């Protein structure tokens, strides 16, 4: 009689039931089954864990399931249900369980998210400041403009007043004399600066912080999407 | 970065909201309230940092002739990162294979 009832009531979807069962079993190794939900309610530090909380949110009963489970709350008949279902019955007893768990998750992950964001924002701030004050780099840009105009001479490309900053990465595409292997404008520039303007090489240090600053956004957006 | 910032702000507000739905005797309220107070003051720091960051990012991007509203930090700083990386590669080539004959 009780077995039939158990099979009759499919509160949760099949595959989730298996996962929930595994989840409960792993927790029950440390905490007795009937203590689990009360301890969650009491904010036991055991549940101050990102993975556990993510799972609890995932397994939280849906509104339909809550309706099916409600009659069992406080009733003797709940012991006839499967373990996962019994667990869900207990969860139903906690008011606004899902919202609660989401707040708990936020609290658990806040420290790390804060530090990540702080680190990225600081990186962008530092790089902005550093780049703004980059004297040698400005000299280098002048040199690039000068050389570029000289090389373009009397053609329509000569006489430029400025360049788009992104084009500094096109210098390597500008080919030089076919006799020198791998010779591009950039090779020529590096060689020239190393030989005749060694002080200008400080620009590498001035631009160093740009490396950290350009990494930032990607990582944090991934975290934001995942949570 | 912007999204993460907004997400933190939204979640913080959600916590504040959620606390109101539960009884004072519930341990949840006590723990969350303490968390919210602390997180809020830390978040304010982040807010100030963000303003400082935006101010200087704006300045430097305009200085280099670009539009900060159209260029994200990873793209902007990526330009310089790429440039210094290329430079270093070429420097090593020159260093190991001798200077170019120009």
pLDDT in tens, A113-123: 999 999 999 99
pTM here?
Answer: 0.81
Q: For position A15, what pLDDT does the model report?
A: 79
Q: For position A13, what pLDDT does the model report?
A: 61
Q: Is there a contact between B21 and A217 if contact means CB atoms under 8 Å apart? A: no
CB of B48 less than 8 A from some CB of A: no
Which residues in chain A are closer than 8 Å to B99, comparing Cβ atoms? 191, 194-195
Q: For position A4, what pLDDT does the model report?
A: 38
ipTM of the shown complex: 0.88
Output the CA torsion sign for A148, A153, A158, A161.
positive
Q: Looking at the predicted structure, is the pLDDT value of residue A2 above 70?
A: no
Q: Is there a contact between A99 and B18 if contact means CB atoms under 8 Å apart? A: yes
Q: Is there a contact between A214 and B77 if contact means CB atoms under 8 Å apart? A: yes
Q: Are B36 and B15 in contact (CB under 8 A)?
A: yes
Q: For position A154, what pLDDT does the model report?
A: 60
CB of A188 less than 8 A from some CB of B: yes
Q: Looking at the predicted structure, is the pLDDT value of residue A84 above 60?
A: yes
Which residues in chain A are closer than 8 Å to B21, comparing Cβ atoms? 95-96, 99
Report how far residue A164's alpha carbon sits from residue A35's, in angstroms, rounded to the nearest whole number.
Answer: 66
Higher pLDDT, B49 or A71: B49
For residue range A111-148, what is the model confidence (pLDDT) as tens digits?
Answer: 999 999 999 999 999 999 999 999 999 999 999 988 88
Q: Is there a contact between A180 and B90 if contact means CB atoms under 8 Å apart? A: no
Q: Looking at the predicted structure, is the pLDDT value of residue A177 above 60?
A: yes
How many contacts (CB atoms, under 8 Å) link A and B?
A: 178
Q: Are B6 and A220 in contact (CB under 8 A)?
A: no
Q: Looking at the predicted structure, is the pLDDT value of residue A227 above 50?
A: no
State the CB neighbour count (10 A cutoff) for residue A218: 11
Higher pLDDT, A54 or A14: A54
Confidence label for A31 from pLDDT (cuts 50, 70 and 90): very high
What are phi and psi for residue A179, nearest 5 degrees?
-70, -35
List the single best residue of A165, A167, A218 to mutate versus B (max B Cβ within 10 A). A165
Q: For position A220, what pLDDT does the model report?
A: 45
Q: Choose the closest CB to A168 out of B45, B63, B83.
A: B83
Q: Looking at the predicted structure, is the pLDDT value of residue B18 above 50?
A: yes
Which residue in chain B is spatially nearest to A40 when comparing CA positions?
Answer: B28
Q: For position A150, what pLDDT does the model report?
A: 82
Which residue in chain B is spatially nearest to A103 when comparing CA positions?
Answer: B15
Confidence label for A66 from pLDDT (cuts 50, 70 and 90): confident
Which residues in chain B are closer than 8 Å to A168, comparing Cβ atoms? 79, 83
Give residues with Cβ within 8 angstroms of A122, minimum separation 6: B49, B53
Confidence label for B5 from pLDDT (cuts 50, 70 and 90): very high
Q: For position A187, what pLDDT does the model report?
A: 87
Q: For position A162, what pLDDT does the model report?
A: 80
Q: For position A82, what pLDDT does the model report?
A: 87
Confidence label for B30 from pLDDT (cuts 50, 70 and 90): very high
Q: Choose the closest CB to A207 out of B27, B75, B80.
A: B80
Which residue in chain B is spatially nearest to A178 when comparing CA positions?
Answer: B102
Per mean pLDDT, which range of A10-24, A204-218, B24-38 is the poorest?
Answer: A10-24
Report how far residue A191's alpha carbon sits from residue A169's, in angstroms, rounded to the nearest whole number.
Answer: 17
CB of A145 less than 8 A from some CB of B: no
Q: Looking at the predicted structure, is the pLDDT value of residue A7 above 70?
A: no
Which residues in chain A are closer than 8 Å to B38, comparing Cβ atoms? none
Q: Looking at the predicted structure, is the pLDDT value of residue A65 above 60?
A: yes
CB of A106 less than 8 A from some CB of B: yes
Q: Looking at the predicted structure, is the pLDDT value of residue A169 above 80?
A: yes
Q: Which residues of chain A from 50 to 89 reach within 8 Å of chain B, CB to CB?
A: none
Q: For position A131, what pLDDT does the model report?
A: 95
Q: For position B56, what pLDDT does the model report?
A: 97
Q: Is there a contact between A208 and B84 if contact means CB atoms under 8 Å apart? A: yes
* SS3 readout for B8-61: HHHHHHHHHHHHHCCCCCCHHHHHHHHHHHHHHHHHHHHHHHHHHHHHHHHHHH
The mean pLDDT of A91-102, rounded to a whole number, is 91
């Amino acid at each position: 009689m009780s077995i039939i009832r158990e099979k009759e009531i499919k509160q949760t979807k099949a595959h989730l039931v298996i996962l929930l069962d595994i989840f409960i079993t792993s927790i029950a190794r440390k905490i007795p089954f009937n203590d689990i939900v009360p301890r969650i309610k009491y904010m036991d530090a055991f549940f101050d864990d990102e993975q556990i909380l993510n799972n609890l949110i995932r397994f939280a009963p849906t509104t339909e399931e809550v309706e099916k489970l409600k009659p069992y709350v406080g009733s003797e008949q709940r012991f006839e249900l499967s373990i996962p279902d019994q667990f869900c019955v207990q969860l139903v007893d906690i008011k606004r369980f899902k919202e609660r768990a989401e707040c708990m998750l936020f609290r658990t992950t806040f420290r790390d998210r804060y530090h990540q964001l702080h680190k990225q924002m600081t990186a962008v701030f530092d790089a902005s400041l550093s780049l703004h004050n980059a004297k040698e780099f400005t000299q280098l840009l002048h040199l690039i403009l000068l050389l570029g105009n000289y090389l373009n001479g009397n053609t329509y490309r000569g006489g430029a007043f400025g360049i788009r900053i992104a084009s500094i990465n096109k210098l390597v595409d500008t080919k030089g004399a076919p006799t020198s292997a791998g010779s591009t404008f950039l090779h020529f520039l590096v060689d020239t600066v190393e030989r005749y303007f060694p002080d200008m090489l400080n620009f590498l240090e001035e631009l160093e912080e740009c490396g950290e600053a350009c990494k930032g956004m990607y990582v944090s957006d991934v975290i934001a999407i995942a949570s | 970065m912007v999204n993460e910032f907004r997400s933190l702000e939204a979640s913080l507000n959600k916590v504040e909201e959620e606390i109101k739905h539960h009884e004072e005797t519930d341990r949840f309220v006590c723990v969350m309230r303490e968390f919210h107070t602390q997180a809020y003051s830390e978040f304010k720091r982040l807010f100030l940092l963000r303003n400082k960051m935006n101010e200087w990012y704006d300045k430097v991007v305009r200085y280099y002739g670009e539009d900060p509203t159209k260029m994200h930090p990873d793209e902007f700083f990526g330009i310089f990162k790429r440039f210094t990386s290329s430079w270093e590669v070429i420097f090593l080539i020159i260093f190991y294979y001798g200077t170019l004959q120009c």
